[in-house]
Structure 1
Amino acid sequence: MTVKELSKKTWSDFETVLGDNGGARGCWCMHWRLSISEWMEGKGEGNKKAMNRLAQRDPAPGVIVYDGDEPVAWCSLGPRSAFPRLERSPILADLDDTPVCALACVFVHKKRRGSGLLPDILEAVCGYAADAGYTTAEGYPVEPRDGKRAGADTAMTGIASAFLKAGFSEVARPRKDRPVMRRKLG
């Protein structure tokens, strides 16, 4: 697995991974970056344009993950402060003053879901974060209950078992199905 920053050059690969619907319900990975009213107002094309603007800036808002030459996943990442809605979340409140690389969204291409790639995707993303100077990665996966499979709109933050396989440890559990997980980098 390799990663490339989201930019003009990789935009079409981002579109490939997220599909025509922009991930889930026209999100285009703006869920954690906007208030709910802003997100709803931009749902679909507006959110896509907002992410396209972010892709023109430095630092990149995230990375595309490739299996060989095939784009298979997207990870929205950066300091927690890059995700205002995450910062305001009563469920996912900041745990302490540890500077983290927040892995806010880990979205796997529809055709590759359920194939066991998520731990390798997380490994590649953590390598990128370490190279960018982060010392700790933090994720907010879901833990599906009762043997049920999480849908794209709830699994957008990843699945807890894959985080464990990728070397993350649970550091908090603010809700029964929502662990907060960290991994030391570098």
Structure 2
Amino acid sequence: MIEVRPAAVFDDVAAVLGLRRADANVCWCLSYRIPSKENVVLRGPARGERVRELCAEDVPPGVLAYDGEEVVGWAAVHPRADTGFARTRTIPHVDELAVWSVWCVRVRPGHRGNGISHALLAGAVEFARANGAPAIEGYPVENGGRKVDLTMAYVGTRALFERAGFVKAADTGSVLNGFPRVLMRLPLR
């Protein structure tokens, strides 16, 4: 059985998002989470250290999925106002609600195809609800069932979000891997 918990344990976040080499400049799911200027200057191990700081905050940077005690997946979820989505021109603001955003769903290799992305998305919704979010948004690709390259699949698909109860709220000006992204929303109150 998959359990989803707040991502407050840095070592578990590192197991999903971390480095294979200490000097690598992997995403660490910071691209949308921190200001663009900060994201550009953080290199190598400093990226992981920034995530360690985020994990120690009162509201961690996302949720983790566990199969027993083994961490098997990650979802980034936080108030939209604290993300790059607050400032982007390609993904519209539907209204003035203080919505939360879920922008990355990642399942570790060897665990894919077992419904973990569904559990992660459900866990992200519950995490946002528990922290007072009035609604939650995601920005998945509209792929019409066609294969999405694994390096770009982190945003999820419209079908994944629909299965979790989200509905399309708007088109966006964003395209990923050749697929348009749509704004999906789920009211939480």
How many residues are matched? Answer: 181
Give, in whole Å, the separation in 1 of the partners of 2:4 and 2:144: 31
* Unaligned segments of structure 2, at least 5 residues: 174-178
Sequence identity, in percent? 30
Cα distance per residue 1:78-114 (max 9 Å; x no partner): 211111x222211113221122121132222222234
- 4+ aligned runs moved over 4 Å, structure 1: none
Counterparts of 1:25 and 1:170, CA distance in 2? 34
Alignment partner, residue 117 of structure 2: 118
**Unaligned regions of 5+ residues in structure 1, if any?**
none
Q: Distance in 1 between matches of 2:18 and 2:140?
A: 21
TM-score computed with the length of structure 1 as normaliser: 0.83
For the residues of structure 1 that align with 2:159 and 2:25, how far apart are their CA atoms?
Answer: 25
* Match of residue 172, structure 1, among 157, 170, 173: 170
What corresponds to 1:11 in structure 2?
10
**Correspondence for 1:147:** 146
Separation in structure 2 between the aligned mates of residue 112 and residue 118 of structure 1, nearest angstrom: 10
TM-score of the superposed pair, with normalisation by structure 2: 0.82
State the one-letter code of the partner of 1:151. L
Query: 5 Å matches for 1:6-155?
Result: 6-7=7-8, 10-20=9-19, 26-83=26-83, 85-144=84-143, 147-152=146-151, 154-155=152-153
Q: Residue 172 of structure 1 contacts residue 179 of structure 1 at CA under 8 Å; is this kept in 2? A: yes
1:24-80 Cα distance to aligned partner (Å, 9 max, x none): 961111101334443232143222111111112212222212233321221221211
1:154-176 Cα offsets, whole Å, 9 max, x none, are 22222221111111111111146
Query: Which residue of structure 2 aligns with residue 162 of structure 1?
Result: 160
Shift of 1:21: 5.1
Displacement of 1:139 in angstroms is 0.8
Question: Matches of 2:105 and 2:25 in 1, distance apart?
Answer: 16
SS at 2:93 equivalent: coil
Cα RMSD between the aligned structures?
A: 2.5
Which segment is superposed worse, 29-38 or 170-179?
Answer: 29-38
